Homo-oligomer: A and B are copies of this chain.
């Protein structure tokens, strides 16, 4: 599925959202304290701690990244776990290189 370039660019036009994507490259390093296995993704609450932002702000940032297809999420019990959508990010960088 091709990404929506406008949506993806707006999503990454914020330093916190770029940080979040970057941390998801190496969850073991950036979220060593998570109790759930990192294989299922990084829990939203971990981002609250890492950013120092409120739960609702973090939630909004994650929703923006997810709408743009740059992360995928999985719900387990009461928690949402997030992973990078590497294919979409690669496509974004590739298309920018071509179209700009």
Contact = CB atoms under 8 A, between A and B. Distances in A.
Interface of A: 5-6, 9-10, 12-15, 18, 21-22, 89, 92-93, 96-97, 99-100
A13 B12 CA distance: 10
Nearest to A7: B13
Given A18-B99, A22-B99, A9 B6 contact: no
A21 B93 contact: no
Contact of A9 (B9, B22, B93, B97): B9
10 contacts: A5-B13, A5-B15, A6-B14, A9-B9, A9-B12, A10-B13, A18-B100, A21-B100, A89-B100, A93-B93
